[in-house]
Amino acid sequence: MKIVKDIEQLSKVCETVPKEKFGYVRSILLREMLIRQNKAVGLAANQIGLNYRAFAMKIKNKIIVFINPEITDKWGDDLFLPEKCLSLKKPYTVKRCMYIRVKDDYHTKGQTMALDNYAAQVFQHEIDHINGITIQKRSKDGK
């Protein structure tokens, strides 16, 4: 599957993944993330043309798929950090919280887990994707 680069398409809020589609969406995201594992640490469903609230990301060299994810809490300092995106040509500087608590319907099965530092940054980047927000839009130097 090709990476979506159309900003209008990437700006749409994604739909909740129905339970009967969990396996399908998970397998597609795993496959596409494995193909790109040397150039990406995260991949949102809408970046490969699936309008679902799901993404895959690497945490400690393991690919984890989150389905219908949400951030339940943020704490600590916000930092301005450089980020790249498979869907955009250039990097942008984006404000991210370094400590978050998250949950989803698949990996955590509704329980929460804490993420910090780089994992927290990647999770926020990917959740922005499924909420229709690109780093270009979120960036302090975006237009």
Q: Which of 15, 20, 32, 126 is catalytic?
A: 126
Q: Give the Cα separation of 44 and 28 in Å (integer).
A: 11
Q: Which of 125, 117, 7 is nearest to 56 (CA)?
A: 125
* 20 among known catalytic residues: no
Tell me the catalytic residues.
126
